[in-house]
Structure formats: C-alpha cells, structure tokens
Amino acid sequence: MPISEDLLRHWKVTRETDPIRKALRFLFLSNYGYMGKPDTLRFARDNTSKILYENLNKTNKFIFGCKFMNVDFRDIFKKLSFRHEAGKLETFIYCDPPYLETANNYSNSFSEKDSLDLFEMLQGSGVKWAMSEFDNPFILNEAKKRNLKTHYIKERRNMKNRRTEILITNYSIPQIKIW
C-alpha cells in the first residue's frame, strides 16, 4: 500500500464498503496520521510500515482461531449461542467502542444510550468481558452502579487534551508487581 498524501486526502473523505478496504483505511488513518489524527501525514525517523507489519504478524499468530464479526454490537449478541454452558467459560468478549465525547474515525458517534445498551448486553451475556474507554464521568458512574471493575491504564495526551484510558471488566484482574 503506498503511503502518500493523495491516499490520505482520498480516505479522509471516502468511506469504504468492502471489509478489507475498510480495515486498510482504518490502519492507514490511525497509524500514519500525525498524533493519531488523520489531519496530516506523519513523517518520522522510525520505519512505521515495518513496525506495523511486524505487529500485524505477531497479532495474527496470537489471535489465530478467534472469531471476529464486523456488525453493530446489538447484532453480535443476537448471534451468540452456546451448545453447552461450558462454552461460556471459554468465551471472552473485548469491546473497543468509539469513546464518548471524542472525535473518531467512525461514521456515527457513540451516544450515552449506546453505552447503556452495550453495558446491558455485556452483562446479560454470561461471559467474561472487558471494555476500553476514557475516564468519562458517565461511564465511570455506570461501571460503579453495576459493581464492575475499573482499571486505569494510562494517560493519553495530544495537542488538544489529556485523557486517562480505562478498562472496565466484569471480573478481577490480578495485580502484577514489577520489580
């Protein structure tokens, strides 16, 4: 895939419908845009293409055998079925929704109602799950009301703001000591 200003301009205004092209567009805009934003092409001394390619290969090996669905989360939960209750013990759902109150590369923004629906569906699934978000007061309040675990990951900074990324889970994550 060529890394060019022309491709950046094209994908800033063009939405892809083919799943492979959608994935390429997402990877391009999120990895080659300056400060993670698709406003301008980032040029750096590191070899971004090589780093991305190496991580894609590692990720591919790690997720081999996993199933992915590219549909609205409401449709995914309709498709989940387990032959035996033991199947739920082997299932894990990770959600990375568009974060509330942030600009994103998605065609529609995520609302508080969408977040509530996602919480309800995750909690009703009967499986272990995790959801990433920023420390949005609405999300933090919902997690607390539902007795979910909130794990603070790291602060993300760009030129316009600072936000703390969090992971919300319905299970406990053991604390790891780093010596």
pLDDT, tens digit, for every residue of 156-168?
A: 765 566 778 899 9
pLDDT at 146: 96
Total tally of structural domains belonging to the chain: 2
User: What is the helix, strand, coil percentage profile of the chain, to 5?
Assistant: 40, 15, 40
pLDDT at 42: 60
* pTM over the 0.75 mark: no
Helix (H, G, I), strand (E, B), or coil: what is residue 137?
helix
| The last residue of a domain, from among 39, 63, 87 | 63
- The residues pairing with 16 across neighbouring beta strands, listed in sequence order, are none
Residue 178 has pLDDT above 50, yes or no: no
Same domain, 19 and 91: no
Residue 109 has pLDDT above 90, yes or no: no
Same domain, 154 and 97: yes
Same domain, 81 and 159: yes
Question: Considering only 35-44, 64-73, 114-123, 150-159, which range has the smallest mean pLDDT?
Answer: 35-44
**Any domain includes 129:** yes
**Any domain includes 85:** yes
**Any domain includes 179:** no
Alpha helices in the chain (DSSP H): 5-13, 19-32, 48-63, 73-79, 86-89, 112-125, 137-145
Q: In the chain, pLDDT over 70 holds for what percent of residues?
A: 76
Helix (H, G, I), strand (E, B), or coil: what is residue 8?
helix
Residue 83 has pLDDT above 90, yes or no: no
Residue 142 has pLDDT above 90, yes or no: yes
* Cβ-based neighbour number of residue 94 at 10 Å: 12
The whole-chain average pLDDT of the chain stands at 79
**Any domain includes 174:** no
Same domain, 86 and 39: no
Domain of 118 in residue numbering reads as 73-169
**Any domain includes 161:** yes
**Any domain includes 178:** no
| The last residue of a domain, from among 41, 63, 85 | 63
